[in-house]
Structure 1
Amino acid sequence: MTNKKLLFPLLYVLVTLLSFYVVLQYLIYSPSDSGMVSAKMDDPSFPYRVWKIFFYPHILLGLAALLTGSYQLTKRSRRNPALHKRLGRIYGISIFLNVPVVPFIALYATGGTPSTVAFMVLDVLWLAMTAAGVRYILRKDVVRHRQWMLRSYAVTLVFVTFRIVLGIESLLTDAPSSVTFPVAVALSIVLNLAYAEFYMTKKSKKSPTPYINDKGRSAQNV
């Protein structure tokens, strides 16, 4: 319980800080002023104007998923089924609209081809896990819905974890971005999903009683 009391406030702080940074850096100031983007501006083949058309929806939809998803994890959200359902739709739609945008952004990712591949893998996982969560709630399987949406949000949180891991890498190594960027993405995916699985396993051992779905019937656990 103590870990949970510490984890969720930390999660909300990190999500809030990143959201503030994104708004300040990319919406109030210009994306070209950021460190990751300014380096691309030296490349005459970089299509900055077209890139921005894809980039702004990417960050806005990403923020929507981050913020709504963090609230969906709380018991307060589940106590209000109507709000939970509305926010869940916003979360899912934000991801489903974002997934087609990512490939173009990934083509110009810092670090070249390795980074492009890493972000494409992340995009596929994002789509697959969110789609699984939606599929199970449509089948009224609340337990599996919650499990897959937790995995989906673990992938969404790579948006946060990636920057932390990348910062640590910059302190520990002078490796080029073609190494640090894809490694940071891969580590973030593994760490986030591993913790999600650990959390669900620990929770199932403490609370073997199945959840109750929205029609009042018991939903069997896996």
Structure 2
Amino acid sequence: MLIVIAVYVLYTLFENLILDPQSTSFLSHKSHLRDSFHLPVWLKVMYVHIVAACLAMASGAVNFSSALLTRSRKIHRFNGWLYVVCVLIVTLSSGYMAPHSTGGKAVSIAFNMVNMYWPAATVISVIKARRNQFIKHRNWMIRSYLFCFTNLFIHVITFVCRSGFGLPYDISYTMGVYGAITLIVLAAECVIHFTSRKAMDFLHTAGASRFR
């Protein structure tokens, strides 16, 4: 999993910061941009958004490692705080870009919903850890972490709707956004359901009740 995520992170950085740093391809699909849209500012915010999202994806993946939790809880905690900071940066930058979303107001609303839920889930996860409720901490981290894949799911669904069904890009992207959010929420609950017993056994064996 870490290898796949590392490859995806490197590809994302390469595509957005080197291959197409002006986001020409993505911006070509936008229409009816507001007067408040300023390309230089939008690009800078987008760079911050992408780098923070990639760091969140990488740090979150590392922190799910049972070996890291067992061997170095200090690194686990530090990496966890790095993830929290990155999530806050991602959602704040997304909040700036949301009004200019492809697909208009419907997509802006969806992104703003994510911008509220994602940091809330992350903060709840931290609170559960501080209260030594480690199963609940893990479950809320799963709910939070899967939102790192929002962009991936959006583009996959958009591609299927556009190439497979011939829908216009705006409609395909809107379906991609709402479809991605739905899939992420359902996938998180499925992962929690099917891995909860294994997680409980590991935390009991590792003596996680001493982890603070």
TM-score interval (norm. to shorter)? 0.7 to 0.9
Q: Which residue of 2 aligns with 1:52?
A: 43
Q: Secondary structure at the match of 1:111?
A: coil
Q: 1:70: which partner in 2?
A: 61
Residues 4-61 of structure 1 deviation map (CA, whole Å, 9 limit, x = unaligned): xxxx36xx41x33432232222222443244212444996944101212321111111
- Quick check: 1:150–1:196 contact (8 Å CA) kept in 2? yes
1:101 partner SS? helix
> Contact 1:158–1:192 at 8 Å: present in 2 too?
yes
- SS of 2:22's partner is helix
In structure 1, the partner of 2:12 is 22
Change (3 A) 1:134 1:22: same
2:43 maps to amino acid: K
CA distance in 2, matches of 1:136, 1:87: 17
RMSD: 2.6
What is the rounded CA distance, in whole Å, between the counterparts of 1:216 and 1:111 in structure 2?
45
Q: TM-score, normalised by structure 1?
A: 0.81
Measure the CA separation in 2 of the matches of 1:209 and 1:39: 49
Share of identical aligned residues, percent? 22
Structure 1 residue runs of 5 or longer lacking an equivalent are 1-7, 218-222
| Amino acid of the structure 1 residue aligned with 2:54 | L
* Letter aligned with residue 21 of structure 2: P
- How far apart, CA to CA, are the structure 2 residues paired with 1:97 and 1:191? 23
* Residue in structure 2 matched with residue 145 of structure 1 by the alignment: 137
The TM-score normalised by the length of structure 2 is 0.85
Change (3 A) 1:43 1:107: closer
- Contiguous gaps of at least 5 residues in structure 2: none
- Which residues of 2 match residues 50-199 of structure 1 at below 5 A? 50-79=41-70, 80-199=72-191
Q: Contact (CA 8 Å) 2:157, 2:176: kept in 1 or not?
A: yes
Moved more, 59-68 or 137-146: 137-146
Change (3 A) 1:73 1:106: same
Task: Give the whole-Å Cα distance in 1 for the aligned partners of 2:45 and 2:99.
Answer: 12
Q: Residues 77 and 208 (structure 1 numbering): CA distance in 2 closer, same or farther, change over 3 Å?
A: closer
SS at match of 1:144: helix
Give the aligned residue type for 2:122: T
Deviation at 1:159, TM superposition (A): 2.6
Cα pair 1:65 1:94 within 8 Å, conserved: yes
Match of 2:210 in 1: 215
Matched letter for residue 102 of structure 1: S
Q: CA deviation at 1:64?
A: 0.6
Match of 1:4 in 2: none
Using a 3 Å threshold, how does the CA distance of structure 1 residues 95 and 186 change in structure 2: closer, same or farther?
Answer: same
CA contact (8 A) 2:162 2:168 kept: no
CA contact (8 A) 2:31 2:102 kept: no
SS in 2 for 1:175: coil
Distance 1:192 1:186, change over 3 A: same
SS of structure 1 residue aligned to 2:184: helix
Deviates more, 1:26-35 or 1:133-142: 26-35
